[in-house]
Amino acid sequence: MIELPKEVKEYFPYVNVRPFQDQFIKTVFAAVEDRRSVLIEGSNGLGKTISALSACLPLAVEKGLKILYVARTHRQHDRVIEELRAVYKRRPISGISLRGRTQMCLNNFAARNTLDAKSLMEVCKLLKAKGRCPYYRTLDEQTYEYLQLQQQIATRPYKASDIHRICRKKGVCPYELVKASLSDVTVIALSYLYVFDPVIRTALLKNFDFQLQKIILIVDEAHNLPETAIDISSNSLSLFVLKQAELEAKKYNNKEVATFTNFLRNEIEKMTESINREEVISPESIIEIIQKQGSILNPRYFFEQLHEVGCSIRRSLLSEGKNPRSYIHGMSEFLLRWLETLGDESFINVVSRYNTRENVKTARLEIVALDPSKVTAPIFSSTFSNIIMSGTLQPLQAYMRITKLPENTVQCVVASPFPKEHILSLVCLGVTTAMEKRTPTMYKTIIKRINEVVQNTPANTGIFAVSFDVLNALVSEGLENALNKPLFHERRGMSSKANEKMVVEFKACGDRDGAVFLGVQGGRTSEGVDFPGDQMNSVVVVGVPYAEPTPRIKAQIDYYEKCFPRLGREYGYVIPAMKKASQAAGRPVRTLEDRGAIVFLDYRFATNYCRRFLPSWMSNGLKVLPYGDKILSREIHRFFKY
């Protein structure tokens, strides 16, 4: 076994260490020991989860710290618990994968009548205060059996699904039971929002009476964090919400509120009549319209009054046993946030038109955040240590600047453990999805190249296009008819459940003659799903997924240009696109035994500029193929033959 720090050996549960895994572990252990953060890139198959855990556990146990392991998906949270169970066979350790109230709640009324985590949190609070939840136990109702359950959960690693099953049998609230156990648990696996959303974080920290200074934070798939931070800080107000708020005001005979919501809705409709998609507006212009044309002399006071009306309606609905949702409350929170961000250059205000799922034209006001560090920096500067890791973080300096990690953060790129002969990276010249080149002739050429890959791939092939527009164009131009294998493809607006079912069916084809999966870069399948072995032998990345140059994208580039001169376009436009492409390209290579062919169908990937943003394990052996038929076929055939 390769030598690891002796403290780590006690927590590393496996006999063998993968190539370069020891470097990852030693780097993280040394950084945490020095109370420093570490920004570390490690490719697929390295074993980042157990590496980070085993490096942090000795110090967490010794110093009485908690480890918060944040990741996007439930599957990733459960993977943490699976690794902890392997550790538990060597050393006693506790851990919980924490899911939100929406997944843990047993109260049908609460779960059925809320749309998101924040609204359920508020409903839950109201139900408990009114004594209306049969699963909630107050302190004087906690029986010996309940306290035993609490103690049991704090002694070993438990998945959220295990706790949910136990609590359903016992008739107690799984969310409250987990909350009560958090103080005694060493590792908590949870979603980004619990740590980075200020409202949810405050509630979490209160539950286990811990300060951020006593927390080691591990952020997995950290390339997603900047976008998540932007989403947390942004907000919107749609015409639908305004219409519902007006109806709500009329129902409660509040003429003043009804008049205001009707007025504001009409003003937004007038503003959006002449715009195509979206337009950046002056935030003061809306306040001025409200003051002058709406005759609201003191907008802040009025918005606060709206908020109180909304709170009152929610209390009234709950007392009647109804869903305590108030559109007036939601509208007031947006308008107060509009005032809070007034004059802040890290936000823009947008009015936009869009189509609903029913293809009905509508509009909304938006508060769009531009600076992820407003969310990330307060956390990174307060914790004991941060481990920021992913397979696609380069250039590390850009990530450091965008998220404002501490200046003494350790930066490290760990080499790939994959044998070079297991990876084939190719770029095809003569094809592109650049906007002016999207012609039927170009799509037919792309389909021809895709078919060359599919015909020479042993089982399954994945294709990830830059957008649904390109995906649909490939289908329209005859992709399915050109293939000799079944085609599964994502659809715009497809539900998570339908997508998951389709992915399962596609994977199963790997055990037979194979199939083709067509999705989009940046979609749920291109980042959140692994395809080891024959589940995906080859992947075709169609185009560079640059964002459409909308006003908000231009504003993002301009904001970064002010913060980081001469780097605005790179930080706000190029890097996000290349991370999406890299994530999609990494789908077929998940274990050390996998052999994967990665084909970039866009000449731009061959340029030095784009190439430098690809992970080194993809770019180092990247081979550029000239334009022509059968050249790609020969490369793929030769790779899988040997």
| Nearest to 484, CA basis, from 448, 445, 451, 446 | 451
What does each C-alpha distance from 519 to 62, 189, 473, 502 come to in angstroms? 46, 29, 13, 11
Sign of CA dihedral 122, 128, 131, 132: positive
Percent of the chain with pLDDT over 90: 71
Q: Can you give the residue ranges of every domain in the chain?
A: 6-231+374-413, 233-369, 420-641
CATH code for residues 420-641: 3.40.50.300
pLDDT (mean) for 241-257: 96
Residues contacting residue 253 through CB under 8 Å, at least 6 positions apart? none
Q: What is the pLDDT of residue 399?
A: 97
What is the per-residue pLDDT across 116-134, written as a single tens digit (0 to 9) for each? 666 676 777 777 777 778 7
Instruction: Check residue 139 and give its pLDDT.
Output: 53
For residues 467 and 518, is the Cβ–Cβ distance under 8 A? Answer: no
pLDDT-derived band of residue 1, with 50, 70 and 90 as boundaries?
very low
Query: From residue 11, how far is each of 34, 52, 89, 157, 162 by CA, in Å?
Result: 19, 11, 9, 14, 23
Is 370 in contact with 559 (CB distance < 8 Å)? yes
Residue 82, number of CB atoms within 10 A of its CB = 13
Residue 518 confidence (pLDDT): 97
Q: Quick one: which of 122, 117, 137, 121 has its CA closest to 180?
A: 137
What is the pLDDT averaged over residues 366-393?
97
Residue 87 near residue 55, CB atoms below 8 Å: no
Query: What's the token pair of residue 367?
Result: 């508060």
Nearest 5°: the CA angle 238, 239, 245 is 95
Question: Mind listing the pLDDT tens digit for each residue in 197-217?
Answer: 998 888 788 776 778 999 999
Mean of pLDDT values over 353-363: 85
Instruction: Tell me the mean pLDDT in the region 104-114.
Output: 70
* Res. 494: pLDDT tops 90: no
Burial of 541 (0-12, 13-18, 19+ CB in 10 A): buried
Q: What is the DSSP letter of 184?
A: G
Task: Give 413-451 as a 3 state SS string.
Answer: ECCCCCCHHHEEEEEECCCCCCHHHCCHHHHHHHHHHHH
CATH of 233-369, one of 1.20.1290.10, 1.10.10.10, 2.40.30.210, 1.10.275.40: 1.10.275.40
Query: Do 233-369 and 420-641 fold alike per CATH?
Result: no
Mean per-residue pLDDT, 333-354:
96
Q: What is the pLDDT of residue 240?
A: 95
pLDDT for the residue numbered 148:
85
Q: Of 66, 345, 95, 100, which Cα lies nearest the Cα of 218?
A: 66
pLDDT, tens digit, 9 for 90 and up, residues 54-66:
999 999 999 999 9
Q: Are 37 and 379 in contact (CB under 8 A)?
A: no
* Per-residue model confidence as pLDDT tens digits over 447-492: 999 999 999 999 999 999 999 999 999 999 999 999 999 999 999 8
Residue 137 has pLDDT above 70, yes or no: no
Per-residue pLDDT of 549-572, as tens digits, reads 999 999 999 999 999 999 999 999
Match 């190719």 to its residue by tokens.
426
Looking at per-residue pLDDT, the higher value among 107 and 512 belongs to 512
Residue 291 has pLDDT above 50, yes or no: yes
The token pair at 398 is: 């850009």
Q: pLDDT value at position 112?
A: 65
Cα R_g (the chain), whole angstroms = 26
Tens digits of per-residue pLDDT, 400-419? 999 999 999 999 999 988 88
pLDDT at residue number 287: 96
Q: How confident is the model over 365-392, as a mean pLDDT? A: 97
Class of the CATH-defined domain 6-231+374-413 = alpha beta
- Mean pLDDT taken over the chain: 91
State the pLDDT at residue 115.
55
Residue type for position 282:
S
Ranking 76-85, 184-193, 314-323, 409-418 by mean pLDDT, the lowest is: 314-323
pLDDT given at position 331: 97
174-193 pLDDT tens trace: 888 888 888 889 999 999 99
- 267 pLDDT above the threshold of 80: yes
Give CA–CA dist 300/297, Å, rounded. 9
Peptide bond into 545 cis (omega under 30): no
Kindly state the tokens that stand for 69. 């392991």
Quick count: other Cβ atoms within 10 Å of Cβ 348? 24
Q: Kindly report the backbone phi and psi dihedral angles of residue 81, in degrees, each rounded to the nearest multiple of 5, phi listed first.
A: -65, -40
pLDDT given for residue 150 in this prediction: 84
Q: How far apart are CA 483 and CA 71, in angstroms?
A: 37
pLDDT digits (tens, 9 = 90+) for 157-173: 999 889 888 888 888 88
Q: What is the pTM of this model?
A: 0.90
Residues 169, 341: Cα–Cα separation, whole Å: 47
